[in-house]
Structure 1
Amino acid sequence: MRRVVVGATGTPGNLSALHRAAAEARVRGAVMLAVLAWQPPGGGLGSRHGLGPSALAECRAAAVERLREVLDTAFGAVHPGVALTGLTVRGTPGAALVDVAREAEDLLVVGAGSRTVLRRLVRPSVARYCFAHADCPVLAVPPSPLQADLESVHRRNVWRVRLDLRELTP
């Protein structure tokens, strides 16, 4: 069965990827698989040295609940129009997505958000990891143009820059 695998994080840029994945699944007659990758506090080392089975079970349950929230935010009462399955995977996002989308006929959809120098240093790009390691086609979805406007307004508010009303009129 054909599958469209998409990462699920709940960020505004990720919502665009979820909707694009649903559209691709409809066109291809495929099943959509939303994947949320999770790690215990402290990563792999933290789970070996400090967390017991009950704490790991709580982390897993929190990841499942987070995935439900993400899908509810993305699609709400409107069904995406395709068979949708959610999956939580313990691991880093890139590795988890590549591992799930292991068939050559799968399509892996990832968000390709803006990557500032600071973000590249702090967090590696999931899209780049998927491009380098996936055995199936990878579709990188750019963020919505409205996302740039939202970030601009946020920066304006943080720096308390006054809004020039002439900017609002075309």
Structure 2
Amino acid sequence: MRRVVVGVSGTPGSLAALHRAAAEARAREAQLWVVMAWQAPGGELGSRNSCNVSALAQCREAAAERLRRILDLAFGARPAGVTPAGLTVRATPGAALVDTARGGDDLLVVGAGSRALLRRLARPSVARYCLAHAVCPVLTVPPPPLQAELDAVHRRNLWHLPLDTRELAP
């Protein structure tokens, strides 16, 4: 059976990708697999030295609970025409998505995200990783328009800039 695989993190961009993936799954009559990647505290090297089995189990359960909340936030009840299957994977987001969408008939949907210079330096792009390593087609979904407004508010708050009330008027 064909699958549409989408990664989520809870950001507005990942929710937009999730809704687009649900629409693609309905149109293709495919299964919808929603992937939440998680890592141990301190990354893989840190987990070898300091994390015990119960700490890893707690991290896995926290990722599963976060995935349940994201699906509930995105769809409430069940989306019409498709039933999402949630999957938590212990890996980096890009590797988790590429490993999950390994069939040639699969479609991998990822959010393109905001790619400001500082974010590119701090975190590698999941979308770029997927485009470079996936064996199936990859659909990148641009951030929703609300994301640009949220980024502008965040920058204004970060730099302690005053709010211009004329921006609030319709």
Could you state the TM-score of these two structures normalised by the residue count of structure 1?
A: 0.93
Shift of 1:165: 1.9
Partner of 1:23: 23
Q: Does structure 2 conserve the Cα–Cα contact (< 8 Å) formed by 1:131 and 1:138?
A: yes
Partner of 1:128: 128
Shift of 1:80: 4.7
1:76 partner letter: G
Which piece of structure 1 moves more, 15-24 or 144-153?
A: 144-153
Query: 2: distance between equivalents of 1:134 and 1:150?
Result: 31
Gaps of 5+ in 2: none
1:102-123 deviation per Cα after TM superposition (whole angstroms, max 9, x unaligned): 0010000000012111111110
SS of the residue corresponding to residue 20 of structure 1 reads: helix
| CA RMSD after TM alignment | 1.6
Query: 2: distance between equivalents of 1:133 and 1:162?
Result: 43
Q: Are 2:160 and 1:162 equivalent residues in the alignment?
A: no
Q: Are 2:16 and 1:6 equivalent residues in the alignment?
A: no
Q: Does structure 2 conserve the Cα–Cα contact (< 8 Å) formed by 1:22 and 1:80?
A: no
Query: 2: distance between equivalents of 1:70 and 1:53?
Result: 26
Query: 1: distance between equivalents of 2:20 and 2:53?
Result: 37
Could you state the TM-score of these two structures normalised by the residue count of structure 2?
A: 0.93
The percentage of aligned residue pairs carrying the same residue is: 66
Shift of 1:127: 0.1
